[in-house]
């Protein structure tokens, strides 16, 4: 990256952080660094609006406050609490992944990108969000919209969902 490009990137990052400090919404999952709670929130937020997720998140965390309680629940119980949020594969994957985390990691959400991505339902975005938010790592959490904006800002050519564009951004 050229020095000019680096200055632009740093300026953009500073502007975004300033904006967030002023305008960022107070959301329940932003009040914690608990990897489990952030994982639940990020999973719920996949293709679902924030306003819709807030009450479901509260109920889900009240019923399943940690990995062990989620892993120990029946799938029917999990689906009942998830009911109405839609995309039920997310709930099934989260439940299955919680059981794996309990069995393989002693109930501790992995802090390793490869281990996270190996869990059912954890893709690139959720893994990046967990690593950056919960574990303070410099990992990107870019959804399709963010990739599209960045590709336009930095004039990166490529089809919106292509692997080539994902790699460049």
* Catalytic positions: 42
How many CA atoms are closer than 13 Å to the CA of 110, on its beta-carbon side?
20
Does the CA dihedral 134-126-119-99 come out positive or negative?
Answer: positive
| Alpha-carbon span 72 to 61, nearest angstrom | 14
């Amino acid at each position: 990256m050229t020095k000019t490009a680096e200055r632009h990137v740093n300026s953009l990052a500073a502007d975004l952080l300033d904006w967030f400090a002023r305008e960022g919404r107070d959301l329940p999952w932003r009040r914690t660094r608990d990897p489990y709670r952030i994982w639940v929130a990020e999973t719920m937020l996949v293709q679902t609006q924030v306003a819709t997720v807030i009450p479901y998140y509260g109920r889900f965390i009240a019923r399943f406050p940690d990995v062990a309680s989620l892993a120990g629940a029946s799938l029917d119980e999990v689906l009942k609490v998830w009911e109405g949020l839609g995309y039920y594969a997310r709930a099934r994957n989260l439940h299955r992944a919680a059981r794996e985390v309990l069995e393989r990691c002693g109930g501790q959400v992995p802090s390793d990108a490869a281990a996270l991505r190996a869990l059912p339902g954890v893709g690139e975005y959720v893994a990046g969000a967990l690593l950056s938010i919960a574990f303070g790592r410099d990992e990107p959490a870019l959804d399709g919209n963010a990739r599209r904006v960045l590709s336009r800002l930095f004039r990166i050519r490529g089809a919106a969902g292509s692997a080539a564009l994902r790699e460049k951004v």
